[in-house]
Structure 1
Amino acid sequence: MNQLINDPSNVVADALRGMADAHPELRVDHENRIVFRGDAPVQGKVGLVSGGGSGHEPLHAGFVGPGMLDAACAGEIFTSPVPDQIMAATKAVDGGAGVLHIVKNYTGDVMNFEMAAEIAAAETGVEVVAVVTDDDVAVQDSLYTAGRRGVGVTVLVEKIAGAAAGQHRPLAEVADIARRVNANGRSMGVALSSCTVPTAGKPTFDLPDGQMEVGIGIHGEPGRRRAPLATAAEIAEMLVGPILGDLDFTGGDGVIAFVNGMGATPLIELYVVYHEVAAILAKAGITVARSLVGPYITSLDMAGCSVTLVKTDDEMLRLWDAPVRTPALRWGA
């Protein structure tokens, strides 16, 4: 496979070196593979830590900075960071107000974040609360999870909880808003091609020409079914239909509609899909209050997209609109 890499076994370390070069406002601990905001810890502010296997960029390191995460732990490709990494990040961002872990619902991630929280609390007394994202409606259990997978809503949880922490709200309140975003969010994705892990050098799964995998995970896990390639309008229906069938999105203050690229799908195609998603929501009487379109939680070089909807309220929207300054997401002051 043609890839812009040096040694396949050093891709994560090389990428972190490049990130440090490109973003001097961040602080990168290369030994522990942790990306910190440059001014961490911020005294009196809840520290936000997330992380997971690499290969989903810009998630999570691309969301480190004012208004979002204080630290992100980078595991190997599609492999959870280890407890020592997470513990080091937790200790380093503790500004005296406690630490929130935002964890995608994958077995290794959940187990390692739990272990790290217990050790950090025992050694330093820092209060740690974890919020686990589980928004994927495609499957109930998968190769990597018990229960639903944590996917696109993770980006929105990190943004909204990050804004709440930035207002110096207490840990319990920041955790509560994170749980509320997750509880009101649903996602589903489709793959038009497999992804290629650098050390493997070949596609993770075989997907013949003219076929697509509906309901995939972000590690190349199989979805609900394999189907013939369809139009953007038909794909949008396949993704939005199960989401609307799982949660009532009508009423309230509308939704945040997020159309995400899986890594190899150009933005022009994502906007085609977003148009179809917006039309489906309008027909269903659902107001789009805010939107996000682009590759924010990817699966290496996979072609395809996912749709995430979050039912919002006035508080969530104010926190969504709050300033953010990270490598991958920035607006406001």
Structure 2
Amino acid sequence: MSRMMQKWVVAQPGVQHLNIEESPVPTPAANEILVRVSAVSLNYRDLGVIAGEDGAPSMPFPLTPGSDMAGVVVAAGENVTRFREGDEVIGTFWAGWIDGDWPEHARVVGGKLPGVLAEYIVLHEDWAVHAPRSLDAVRASTLPCAGLTAWFALVEKGALHAGQTVVVQGTGGVALFGLQLARAHGAEVIVTSSSRDKLARALALGATHAIDRLEHPRWDELVRELTGGRGADHVFELAGGDNLGASLRALRQGGRISLIGVLGELSMTLPSVPSFLTRPVIQGIGVGHRRALEALVRAVDATKIEPVVDTAYSFHKLPEALQHLERGAFGKVVVKMVG
């Protein structure tokens, strides 16, 4: 008789159609590993997947959502060489993007591929990396998307180094990873937010300066003031709309803007003449590849960075966790498989 497991399934678009189902524990085929999931980190994208907005109508409903997990290898199929039973692992956000330019065949786990909100999952061995030794599963689960996005923007593409200034907008998972990684590299960090409480917490986490966007709607002017008129070297653009223009005005000559999210508007506008004069590098960041994730893991172990987790919910409280995610969190919202 097959062992059974529980998994979350959304039968059709809409969080109201999200339910726990039972199914047999899968068996790994050749080159695959069976992972007992320990924790799943939620991303804002998961709300769109569940609602059918991310790639609809081509999403393969019914589906199991969730893309970012930490777990333990409990079995390996034939020809597996990268892992063995007992290894602690984290999954890659992109299945099939190992290095270099993004390949067209790469797919997202928890989208076109089955997600990780299940007690057990099967992954191709190429779709996982060894977890950091310095982190528990809850914190390790935050690396595949939020952590790697910040790393890819600042280190892989941005050549971050000491003496630079980084602006991060908001206090979500990517923003706080950007703060922590920048400080670990010796850069200064300016955080913008409309919440005084969250700004205070960001300063306690190591931010150099905090800007209240309600008090300073022209936050870019204050960035230039805080940098002695030079402007920021890196800006995380997370809002969308005409905020991109403010990000440009906050930037130094030849600085870099990383387009990471659209928490406000789905389109962005940019003034043409100032963009010519500033000579910015504007880089879209779509998470990153496996090699960069492995580099991030090594960096986390070396620097002892502890990802910021707002709240960890039990597996059966996924709907409450999604509600928390939607109203905003300081750092990451995580689902634990036990407790």
TM-score, normalised to structure 1, is 0.30
TM-score, normalised to structure 2, is 0.29
Q: Which has the higher strand share?
A: 2
Higher CA-based Rg: 2
